[in-house]
Structure formats: C-alpha cells, structure tokens
C-alpha cells in the first residue's frame, strides 16, 4: 500500500483567515451575488472546468478535482451544471477549497498517479480520518468563499435589524431557518448551507447570547 504525504493540519480559525485573504486578493466583495464559481475557478485560479455525464451518480457529488496535463481539472456533472443548483455551486466551491487549502498536498499526491490503477491505490491508501478532515476543511472554506465575510456580515446585520423589537419573544433556533432564507437567496446557498454560514458569524453568537431564554420563561 502507498504511503501518502501527511495531510495538512488547519484550524477553523486559519481556514477563515485564508478565505478572508482570498476574498480580498480577488476582490470578491466587488462582484455580483450569487458569485460565479466557474469564473473563480477558471479566471482567478486557472482551473479547467469540464462537463461529464454521471459524475453525481459515480462520486456522490456534482464536482471532482483531478490533475490535468497543464492545469487542474474540476469535472462537473452536466445535468447539475445545466440546472445551476445550489448543491452544484457549493460542490464547485468545495473543490476550489481543496485546491486553495491543499494545493501542495494534492501536488505531491498527484505525482504518485500515473495510471488508473495507481489512482485506485492512492484512494485505498487514504485513511478514513484523513479523508474526513480534508473534506471538512474544504467544506468550511466553501462556506466562506460563497459568502465572504466582507459581504456577508453587513448583509446579515440588515437581516437581524429587521427582527428588532421581536427578538426578545423568539427562540434563536426558531429564527435561524427564517434568517437563512434571504441569506440563501442572496448568496446562492441552500437553507441548510445558509444556516451553517450564519452559525460562523460573531453577530449570530451575540444574538444568541442576547436572546437566551431565562428559566421558567422569565
């Protein structure tokens, strides 16, 4: 069995910092929303996007990154691409996350791939723990990429302001799916992905602390 390079070790705080730097380097705050993920991949990072049938069925995800002769390639599910679903967009952002966060690690792994058989050996040599961590890191980056801090925080502040005067009577967990609706629509996220992005916000944590219900409903 192959011995793979040690996986990158990144804290959630570090991933947020990298995403913030990426957003500012590529002026994501000045772009239209929802963001064009293909533009980020192809124009900003030089990653080739290729359409193929059956990607979702084969991999369980509409997008997969792999090495190319000159540039990395993100192969995307043709049906999901045509539909432009939030699932598709998040999956492309996820693969961009792998590239941004794990580029050096991926380069070393890809050097081991010389055939379909060697690729299978790479996959078999990857531990379940390493796989989970790499996927979780890319997922975290994708959330910040699609809703960058410099754009998300002012937008979310406006949504919280609309609750002014009502918040004291509301349980924050009951409010969360409601707040996720405009966030999801603006940033092109599913309701569950929008909720996950909201939970990363300091504003949300302050909102929770300010609206915690006292014992006996006081």
Least confident of 55-64, 77-86, 89-98, 116-125: 116-125
| pLDDT for 155 | 98
- Average pLDDT (121-133) is 84
Q: Tell me: pLDDT of 57 over 90.
A: yes
54: number of Cβ within 10 Å: 10
Strand positions, DSSP E, the chain: 48-52, 63-66, 73-77
> Does 152 or 107 have the greater pLDDT score?
152
Stated pTM of the model? 0.90
Cis peptide before 112 (omega within 30 of 0): no
Q: Are 28 and 133 in contact (CB under 8 A)?
A: no
> Token match 């005067």: residue?
165
- Residue extents of the structural domains in the chain: 12-146, 149-212
Handedness of CA 22, 25, 30, 36 (dihedral sign): negative
Q: Tell me: pLDDT of 124 over 80.
A: no
128 CB-near residues (< 8 Å, 6+ apart) = none
Domain covering 12-146: architecture = Orthogonal Bundle (1.10)
Q: Tell me: pLDDT of 73 over 90.
A: yes
Average pLDDT, the chain: 91
Q: What six digits make up the tokens of 56?
A: 């979702």
| pLDDT for 76 | 96
pLDDT tier, 168 (very low <50, low <70, confident <90, very high otherwise): low
């Amino acid at each position: 069995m192959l011995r793979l390079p040690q996986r990158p070790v990144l804290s959630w705080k570090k991933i947020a910092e990298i995403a913030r730097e990426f957003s500012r380097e590529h002026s994501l705050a000045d772009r239209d929303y929802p963001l064009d993920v293909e533009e980020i991949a192809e124009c900003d990072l030089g990653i080739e996007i290729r359409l193929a049938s059956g990607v979702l069925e084969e991999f369980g995800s509409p997008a997969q990154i792999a090495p190319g002769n000159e540039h990395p390639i993100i192969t995307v599910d043709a049906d999901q691409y045509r539909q432009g679903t939030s699932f598709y967009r998040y999956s492309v952002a996820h693969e961009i996350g792998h590239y941004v966060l794990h580029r050096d690690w991926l380069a070393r792994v890809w050097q081991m791939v010389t055939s379909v058989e060697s690729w299978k050996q790479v996959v078999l040599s990857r531990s379940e723990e390493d796989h989970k961590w790499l996927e979780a890191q890319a997922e975290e980056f994708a959330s910040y990429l699609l809703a960058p801090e410099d754009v998300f925080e002012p937008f979310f502040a406006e949504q919280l302001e609309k609750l002014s005067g009502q918040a004291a009577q509301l349980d924050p967990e009951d409010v969360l799916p409601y707040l996720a609706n405009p966030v999801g629509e603006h940033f092109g996220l599913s309701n569950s992905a929008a909720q996950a992005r909201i939970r990363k916000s300091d504003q949300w944590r302050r909102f929770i602390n300010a609206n915690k219900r006292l014992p006996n409903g006081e």
